Amino acid sequence: MTSQVSYSKLEKAYSHDFRNKINMARNTNEVYDVFCYTVAALFNEIVDKKKFKETDVDFYPEKECHYELGDKIKLDSAIAKCLNDSDLERILNDLAQTATNRHTHLEKHPEKTNSKIMRH
């Protein structure tokens, strides 16, 4: 049995800011940008380098798996190991679900969301 690595501290470090930015997103494009930027930053912190960009992650709220990692991320051996031997996949799924929920809300009620943000 292999040991399980946990990135819950990293999740806690990113989750508050992520939720704030997602909740303040005015349109679906902003949700996409926030999700992709956060995931790239998370991976950069794991490998301790600034080698991944938000363009290395795609967000698909309509698919069952709400995101897709680009080849640059998938082919990185450190990331591949982390995805297999840690709770990183669960963290990514949680972030993607939060972003998908906001995306769905913005699609259904864009006028309500824009007026609410304008008042603040």
Residue 113 or 92, more confident: 92
User: Which stretches of the chain are DSSP H helices?
Assistant: 8-24, 28-47, 71-74, 77-85, 88-108, 110-119
**What domain range is 102 assigned to?**
8-109
Answer yes or no: is pLDDT of 44 > 70: yes
Does residue 84 lie within any of the structural domains? Answer: yes
Does residue 35 lie within any of the structural domains? Answer: yes
Does residue 33 lie within any of the structural domains? Answer: yes
Does residue 64 lie within any of the structural domains? Answer: yes
Q: Give residue-wise pLDDT tens across range 51-89.
A: 999 999 999 999 999 999 999 999 999 999 999 999 999
Q: Which residue from 16, 25, 19, 17 is spatially nearest to 103, judged by alpha carbons?
A: 25
User: What does pLDDT average to over the chain?
Assistant: 90
Q: How far is CA 112 from CA 26, 34, 90, in A?
A: 10, 21, 31
* Number of domains the chain contains: 1
